[in-house]
Amino acid sequence: MIDINRSNRQRAYTMAQTRPLIEEAIFHVLYSFPFVQELMGQGIRVGVDWTLLGPRAMRTLNREQRGVDRETDILSFPARLMKEGRPVQVIEAWESMAGEEGAPSLFLGDLVVAPAVVDSQARDLGHSFERELTFLVIHGLLHLLGYDHVEVADEEKMEAVQDRLMADLTEVPCGFVVITGRPNVGKSTLLNELSDRTLAITTNKPQTTRQAIRSVLTTDRYQIALLDTPGLHQPKNALGKAMMKATSSAVGQADVVAVMIDASWSPFVGHLERRIIDQARKDKKPVILIINKVDAAAKEKSLPLIKAYDDAFKLDAYIPLSALKGDGVDRLLEEIVALLPVRRRLFSAGDETDQTERMLSAELIRREVLLQTSHEIPYGVTVLIESFDDVQEDRGRLVLVDAVIYCDRQSHKQILIGKAGEKIKSIGMEARAAMEKLLDARVHLSLFVKVKNGWQNKTADLLDAGLLAKD
């Protein structure tokens, strides 16, 4: 869907050295802009030409076209007037000429590159020719798309887009890290601490987390996709099996496996932890042992635990920490970054989690059910959001939510509703307050309670609740 014409008018650098880098950058930039995507959706291709020149020819072109008598690295010649990725004027039908494939093609302009100048600049700046060439092609294409850096405000906008596009093509330590362990060891607390937001609900009830939850941490130095998983346990029903399948799948997907234990435990390797570590070792994945809750256990407890695991497995790192207080978390991140493969980022900068607002809202309601019903209804509930509507009002954003709490028995429904409806009212009030904080909006929440006998063992019900993969 992109037409590219190329020409090499110098001898020092071959097409084999330059073409893959230049055209990868062109494709990456153009496919990232909505205007280009819209054209392609209409069956209109997009055209860009690029040419390689030697330093002297580039100086001549720079003098003739811009009145600047010196060598330069890249020149952009836009074919139409654009502003920040969109045409200033309506594109007429006649402007889309037939391209290479016979389909209409809209020409955006020319790029002219002096690879010898690019190489010299790269050495002066202390980085590779490949990086400098990619950066300059992105910079030049943004000029074709109507970005400039004459005014400070325009320069800031251009640099922000440029940095984002460049980051996508830069290799950094990047990959999936699964956090696994038994119920209530603090996996979700750690995920929330690392993410600096509530993505996984936390209660003192075992098996609060029912499915793998992803949180993506992106910085200039690394990108870590964290996977929180259900607590390791021996499943007794279809729900439990689905939860353990989610954990096993996450371990199989991970580049690094982090096994979490409690600092107060006796110094031996449990069979559930051993099974996960054996799976990781079989797949040749690095393993970190996280000893959590060191703030609540005697200091001398951690060393025997580390020795027990080191004797059994010789793991890659051992990190004592307090997920609740954040102590030791920075060191954990350092160890993770050291073990991750170096590659291009897997997620865009804005892709922070796989949990939608709808999913997070359902979990906040379920958290209130667990907190307010004590041991009376430990696992026999799930929450489905039946409608989730955004309304923009003069007072700001309003979210209208209709949710159903499904429970396993009629007696559970009576407990959830409470005397004169007091319990469901209390659950709704606390859940609504949490949702308003999450969504930064006013929330109108309608809650209903329905009985679904044996839903934890019914495939259709687990699918409806999003607790079973549709494979």
| Token pair of 329 as six digits | 């978390």
Those residues with Cβ within 8 angstroms of residue 137's Cβ, 6 or more apart along the chain or in another chain: 21, 22, 25, 26, 29, 50, 74, 111, 113
Q: Does domain 357-464 have CATH number 3.30.300.20?
A: yes
Answer whether 182's CB lies under 8 Å from 207's CB: no
pLDDT digits (tens, 9 = 90+) for 413-469: 888 888 888 888 998 898 898 888 878 889 999 988 888 776 666 566 555 555 545
pLDDT digits (tens, 9 = 90+) for 272-299: 889 889 989 998 999 999 999 998 887 7
Judged against a pLDDT cut of 60, whether residue 263 lies above it is answered with yes
What does the pLDDT read at residue 233?
A: 40
pLDDT, greater one: 343 or 307: 307
Answer whether 234's CB lies under 8 Å from 183's CB: no
| Token pair of 393 as six digits | 């009002």
Judged against a pLDDT cut of 70, whether residue 310 lies above it is answered with yes
**Confidence class for position 346, pLDDT limits 50, 70, 90:** confident
Nearest of 214, 190, 364, 204 to residue 294 by alpha carbon: 190
Count the alpha carbons within 13 Å of 332 in the hemisphere toward its beta carbon: 28
Nearest of 455, 406, 407, 405 to residue 425 by alpha carbon: 405
Judged against a pLDDT cut of 60, whether residue 400 lies above it is answered with yes
Residue ranges of alpha helices (H) inside 373-468 are 410-417, 422-439, 459-464
Query: What is the bridge-based pairing of β-strands 171-181 and 104-113?
Result: unpaired
Residue listed under structure tokens 């654009």: 82
Distance CA 324, CA 213 (A): 19
pLDDT, greater one: 252 or 134: 134
Residue listed under structure tokens 């002219």: 112
**Confidence class for position 207, pLDDT limits 50, 70, 90:** very low
**Highest CATH level, class, for 171-344:** alpha beta
Cut 0.95: pTM above it = no
Residues of the chain with CATH 3.30.300.20: 357-464
Answer whether 13's CB lies under 8 Å from 22's CB: no
Look over the chain and give the mean of its residue pLDDT values, rounded to a whole number. 83
Residues of the chain with CATH 3.40.390.30: 2-168
Residues of the chain with CATH 3.40.50.300: 171-344
Lowest mean pLDDT among 87-91, 296-300, 353-357, 420-424: 353-357
Domain 2-168, architecture per CATH:
3-Layer(aba) Sandwich (3.40)
| Token pair of 231 as six digits | 């607590």
